[in-house]
Structure 1
């Protein structure tokens, strides 16, 4: 059975171990490639070399979702009932609010997920193939298994393929593995660490960094590893966010409360007041309207939108509104290392020579044009060993570093980060790298390969000498060195010298640092042992009799602000787990250094994770743990297991390999600077600075948003009691007390005067200590006992007494009540209902100020510190004045003008409300 007949079972690791002849036979091809007819036949069998698009939800369904939430459905029904009960203005007003909120939500969430579109964009347009025995360019979509194609430096690779020939070939596989170091590839099989590590295999979506290669395609389209990841991403269903679930629950609660009260009052109106059924129904509807917070949904939406805006200023772009609050619930962050926890700037931090060991001061690419060794500025001209180390590092280098035009921007690296660190070291020390290259021009090179683990360049030193510069792994150089540079002089290298070098290197490795050894050799032009033409110099005749110079030791330094961010996570009971494609030693070193874990943390590699059962993984996740060299499915598995344990997981990523985990996580966080389009589209949030501390700032903002939602929920609900109290008076007096508040006036409070102060509460800053509290328990609810008590038994009860008192106050002034009768109709009645409405509004002013903090004193944060709340208060006073004094609105809302003494009464209302609440908060703080 050929691979074409069983294309669903392609195993890259198995193909890598087969002989090339067996691969040719399996894929019905040869070193001369396919014929055009064979390629066309295979194209019909396997299809185009494209990433298939997942089924996307129709746009009309996405649009309608914003109008069919439980709260929205309740408002549609409320509006219909109001119209049916011949209160057309009320019904239209409720529907208008629903429509505006739905349109706003749709607009905010219009950026739909397009992960597969981005995957398509990442594939190259054209590929150089060998067909009919000759090289030709074809559209990458037409590449099929069995095609032999040519890869050159800079090419994006079009298919999973087995290498046939290679010359100094290196591939950037970071989009698949997360490993930032380029990988050497060759025709011979060699299995490295982790997935995608076969030396003779290349994969679709990766990029050729240097050299050339010829390869035979073994998988295309959705059968590639790239395609498998895309398919895994497509199968992830978007789950309901915790806030959506909580709002749905809240809607159920409020709906049943409103309907229950409505039914109770409907029955009471018939039997107590002896109202007709139709009139009792309208009365009950007014109670339902009073207890349904029509302004809650738009207020939540706008508050989340404000959170999105604030997060954007903190370098975190949130794609969906509900993700803002989910951030605040995060209990675990699965974070990459490179670029997120670190600066993504490979930097030399130690130098070792026989004469001295140096610590390089200053992390990062730019250090004011100088290098400090052991905290002192050093002139390398006075240290022959150091000068030679710097010169070889600069000459044996294919990377260029372009310094940025703007301050604060990163330099542009044309080449590998490792070589860039060597160039930058030399430039920091004051060496002119370009000038050195001109003085000692390169004649030829022996490229790096994974067998000898070194790279050699040959330079013209002067008229009589040529210089051989070598850099690479310590074991790849120390074995072929027979001398060592010591204080500018060459002397034979001893076993004791080798032991010192090896001990130093072991110490660096223990700290998770990476070293490169440097050596050289000077050859006279007339040396009879060497060919005249340097092109004939080989590994065997060139890389010998070397003089060992020293070690350059490097690392990707942690971001300076990462230490504080990690400490904030610990204070907030948020567990941070490093999940990286880098090696175990490096990963643990960084994790311990920045405080993620202690030195006792367990490091689990991708291979070890594969062998783990689910129970073993669950047990491992309970302790300190680091994941190194993980594959896409494994990162996805870690996230899934954490969610099964009840965690709210935020996962970071930048490559194609991260997309499934980003999609699965409760909050997927993609890197905006280094991230692929696939990762960005799969994520819920994008960091514009690729900085872990921005995640922590976003989590703090998410907690604040949830706290603020509770604040304006308390604010909105407390008016429900005062809105319902007049109807209770009417009911229990059996109609003797006329209704102190009309249904349209109730709606005025819910949709008009409540709205802007509530939005102002949504803009409140974080309260002190919010990041020293554990994440919110997922079993906790927006509407908890504390809010119910404050809203109904404290704020609401006080406002009910005051607003009812205002009603009787006007009746006392106008009719002499209780000696006279209560106003039942006419101007006196309208003035009394207006006073009731106004009293509720002024009670809300006091409530808005009180709700700004949970326990902290209002005077400590500043009465005037939230300008939006002040604007909201000013707005509701102005709106109230319009309702009272504009004739058209008077008729619509059953209002009448108020006199000076009524206004004096109203203005005094908020003062005792604030003072009494301050006393309660003070008592509570003392108890706490």
Structure 2
């Protein structure tokens, strides 16, 4: 087998077909099957190699090795050393259940992601041994000659050597929404991937046919090159992971310091035996560690992913939920994300004035209006003429989805817009095409930028009809249609038409011009053979009819979504492969930026230093005509400025930026495999508005984690207070709470209400706040003050008071405080019960930070009320079940004691409601 290798694309585009055939050791009859098999064996299949996935075992084990999980493993070991086997096993069980649940969530998300992958075609037609045959796309090799036609996905980078009216949608590589015309000859347009005679893997043929020779396959294609670039990027650590690690270190240090302090006080102040003091200190360390944190985090994130899935956002990793809540900048592409990816005609210009076209997208809803009133086509001959040309000079079909989904088009978006325009006008294109039989077509080419057809009406009169770029149309026109009658096209007419075109171009609208010519008796082409109608003979002395203006309209819901982002102090930076004018007009129209925004092109970006780019991305800016490396760099510079960046995209060109971003968001409907693999989240409806809903969920998750922390930490103070009293009094006051009773609160009564807080709905006004600062932490100063100062101190006073109250009922101070027996068990039981009933109030108070609980519904969170019911039932079981009384040193309480406990929650709840009201009043006054 002769050695072949892929070459640089531009060099490949410039050489002749004959040189290329020689270079790739093939011929016009194609490769032999034997040669193709040898090349497949040596160079591998034509596939985009997926990044190496971790083994399922490693992925599974990762869920048990976070810093918090390790802390729980150690806590279980400490509990076993302290002689509390049941506690150790319980802590480990919590860790195992949480890890399995987290793995299951990730596995389910990955399966859903895999089901979305449908990028490259399954089969391709090749020429081998001089015969056309169909093979699987993976078997295509360098040097193969293959065929493509409208609707095909291009299977490899290839040089065109024979084409007819070919156009290719390259948006997966460039982000440009308008298909690119392709032809045999070399010409280099603007930007990357702009060689006229090269087609690229993963792009879509929108019209025409072609034969091409494969010059690069698999990972050697531009598609593969960007995939490789994506693979080399390491995914950043999620902010929530960093924050949980920070929190774990904080709690570990606090717990160990408390344990050491209690050990030293027990040994040197109370003169406890060392062994007993050590067990006492270990119990305090374990008690202070929030064993329920990981399950609550996992449940909160899982609930968030489920709610987001219902809103068309699929999360591949649970931690991505919270990352969205921290987002400060969204780097968004334009086509299909902010816009509908459906070219829509919204204006028509004729010599007698402007016309508005209502309705958006590839749907028939809408009409042509003049001054707000529908136009009567029977009385407007100029408009009728333009629509007739639009219907006849058209090779595209549009099939609307009866279920309301996106219409399917076979052809180009521009021609699809013309099809819909004629339908809005009530024109039956098929009937019209029967009346005017097409005799010949002069296909569009990028040189002259025109497409012409020759038709014949029922009377047999030939008619030449042309559509194309305005400059090309004006060059072949010498008349203009006015009120149904052609008249000479003056210099003033030309200036007016060009001014109209410039005016609409500033709005980011694309223009398409129309002209015609009737081949009358005096026309030189009259009575000639159809072969005489050539570009040179037909495209001249035309009658200019008018212009249509079109654009890819913004999604209807995008306006509200952008406002919500601005309310939440989240900036949006448009990063697109489209033209600067179009990009800015869309950005200004939907409110992303003002008209003063700076527009930076890819070429300009290449000249900018990192420092200049960092300054640019901190202000109002739009990026247009960008390449894959540009998007990656933009995201990186935003991160260098301290931003948490979400980046959206659907094409291969977006993948490196998606992976680099703190959270990458790929499009599920139009996204490529490479983009979906690189992303953390996939929008199943390709809708930017779904991102805003996801951000709200992310903020809610973080807020709920803080509520959970506040709830579990505030019980640590009343749990520690009895030990402090015991130590300060040098044992004169027996321990008001035993270690097992403390652990009852942490792993028993607190757990279900805490999990209920983890799934609380968004607090009112959560999207009116800016993203939290990156230097803020879950365990904030406000939470520390509330947990240890306000809630904790109050619960300590109440629980300690309950202990002495029970002793009072049993005869204290006339008799000494009991250190054993029934009286001691009852006293510790009511102290435990007081903490539990304080936690009932805390569960309700923690549901909101400043809003009234009544504003979100007192009974709206059923899990919290279920948790409250369970903890009351659990404390009752501890009091009245003999075998539990032995383990936890508890005893039955009388009616008076129960009455005392039930009086605790309501005053605490009302007091906190009053405090929140006061905070709201102060903020309102400010």
TM-score, length basis structure 1: 0.95
78-87 or 67-76, which deviates more = 78-87
Q: Pick closer, same or farther for the CA change 1:139–1:346 going to 2, 3 Å.
A: closer
Partner of 1:783: 779
Which deviates further from its counterpart, 334-343 or 43-52? 43-52
SS at 2:443 equivalent = strand
- 2:556 is matched with 560
* 1:831 correspondence with 2:830: no
Q: Are the structure 2 counterparts of residues 375 and 882 from structure 1 closer, same or farther at C-alpha, using a change threshold of 3 Å?
A: farther
Classify 1:136/1:857 alpha carbon distance in 2 versus 1 (closer, same or farther; 3 Å): closer
User: Which of 119, 135, 141 is residue 144 of structure 1 equivalent to?
Assistant: 141
> Cα deviation per residue 1:152-204 (whole Å; 9 max; x = unaligned)?
33332222122222111111212211222211111211111111111011111
Tell me if the contact between 2:359 and 2:365 (Cα under 8 Å) persists in the aligned partners.
no
Report the 3-state secondary structure (helix = DSSP H, G, I; strand = E; otherwise coil) of the residue aligned with 1:657. helix
How much does 1:55 deviate? 2.2
What is the 5 A alignment of 1:695-774?
695-774=691-770
Please name the residue that 2:525 is paired with: 529
Alpha carbons of structure 1 residues 460 and 745: separation in structure 2 relative to 1, 3 Å: farther
Counterparts of 1:65-144 in structure 2, within 5 Å, are 65-111=62-108, 122-144=119-141
What is the deviation of 1:53?
Answer: 3.3
Q: After TM superposition, list the pairs within 5 Å mapping 1:893-908 onto structure 2.
A: 893-908=888-903
Q: Distance in 1 between matches of 2:364 and 2:438?
A: 28
Given that 2:364 and 2:423 are in contact with CA atoms closer than 8 Å, whether structure 1 keeps it comes out as no
Q: Is the 8 A contact 2:172 2:653 kept in 1?
A: yes
Secondary structure in 2 aligned to 1:521?
Answer: strand
Q: Is the aligned partner of 1:416 residue 2:412?
A: yes
| Aligned-partner Cα distance in 2 for 1:671–1:123 | 16
Which whole-Å deviations, capped at 9, do the CAs of 1:885-913 have from their partners, x for residues lacking one? 34444444333322221121111111221
**TM alignment of 1:343-742, pairs within 5 A:** 343-366=340-363, 368=365, 370-406=367-403, 408-523=404-519, 529-530=525-526, 533-534=529-530, 537-742=533-738
Shift of 1:35: 4.3
Structure 2 contact 343–552 (Cα < 8 Å) conserved: yes
d(CA) in 2 for partners of 1:324, 1:309: 10
Q: CA deviation at 1:526?
A: 11
Q: Structure 1 CA distance, aligned partners of 2:117 and 2:402?
A: 33
Are residues 1:869 and 2:867 paired?
no
| Distance change (3 Å), C-alpha of 1:366 and 1:157 | closer
Deviation string 1:591-631 (CA, Å, 9 cap, x unpaired) is: 11111112222222222223333233223223321111222
CA distance in 2: counterparts of 1:462 and 1:131, whole angstroms: 47
Q: Is the 8 A contact 1:466 1:525 kept in 2?
A: no
The answer to whether the aligner puts 1:302 opposite 2:284 as a matched pair is no
Match of 2:880 among 878, 885, 888: 885
Query: In structure 2, how many angstroms separate the alpha carbons of the residues matched to 1:889 and 1:456?
Result: 92
Name the SS of the counterpart of 1:675 in structure 2: coil
Aligned-pair RMSD on alpha carbons? Answer: 2.5
Q: Is the 8 A contact 2:756 2:861 kept in 1?
A: yes
Deviation at 1:250, TM superposition (A): 0.5
Tell me, yes or no, if structure 1 residue 265 matches structure 2 residue 262. yes
- Give the whole-Å Cα distance in 1 for the aligned partners of 2:671 and 2:696: 24
The CA deviation at 1:88 is 1.3
Aligned-residue offset at 1:713: 0.8
CA distance in 2, matches of 1:366, 1:25: 49
Q: 1:135 Cα deviation (Å)?
A: 4.0
For residue 4 of structure 1, report the CA deviation from its aligned partner: 5.2
Structure 2 residue ranges without an equivalent (≥5): none
Deviations 1:812-852 (A, max 9, x none): 21x21122222322332222222122111110111122222
* Alpha-carbon distance, 1:583 to partner: 1.1
| Worse overlay, 512-521 or 231-240 | 231-240
CA distance in 1, matches of 2:74, 2:861: 36
Contact 2:150-2:410 at 8 Å conserved across structures: no
Cα contact 1:362–1:372 (8 A) shared by 2: no
* Closer, same or farther: CA 130–266 of 1 in aligned 2, 3 Å: same
Contact 2:513 / 2:546 at 8 angstroms: preserved in 1? yes
Question: Is 1:796 the equivalent of 2:789?
Answer: no
Q: Distance in 2 between matches of 1:861 and 1:144?
A: 63
Please report the TM-score for the alignment, with normalisation by the length of structure 2. Answer: 0.95
The whole-number CA distance in structure 2 between the counterparts of 1:604 and 1:701 is: 33
The 2-side partners of 1:533 and 1:624 are apart by 60
SS of the residue corresponding to residue 234 of structure 2 reads coil
1:160 alignment partner, one of 151, 157, 160: 157
The answer (yes or no) to whether the contact 1:667–1:683 under 8 Å persists in 2 is yes
Structure 1, gaps ≥5 residues long: none
Separation in structure 2 between the aligned mates of residue 856 and residue 764 of structure 1, nearest angstrom: 13
Contact 1:367–1:428 at 8 Å: present in 2 too?
Answer: yes
Query: Secondary structure of the equivalent of 2:782?
Result: helix
What is the CA–CA distance in structure 2 between the aligned matches of 1:13 and 1:70, rounded to whole Å? 51
* Cα contact 2:368–2:375 (8 A) shared by 1: yes
Distance of aligned partners of 1:375 and 1:883 in 2 relative to their CA distance in 1, 3 Å threshold: farther
Gap change, CA 1:755 and 1:438, over 3 Å in 2: farther
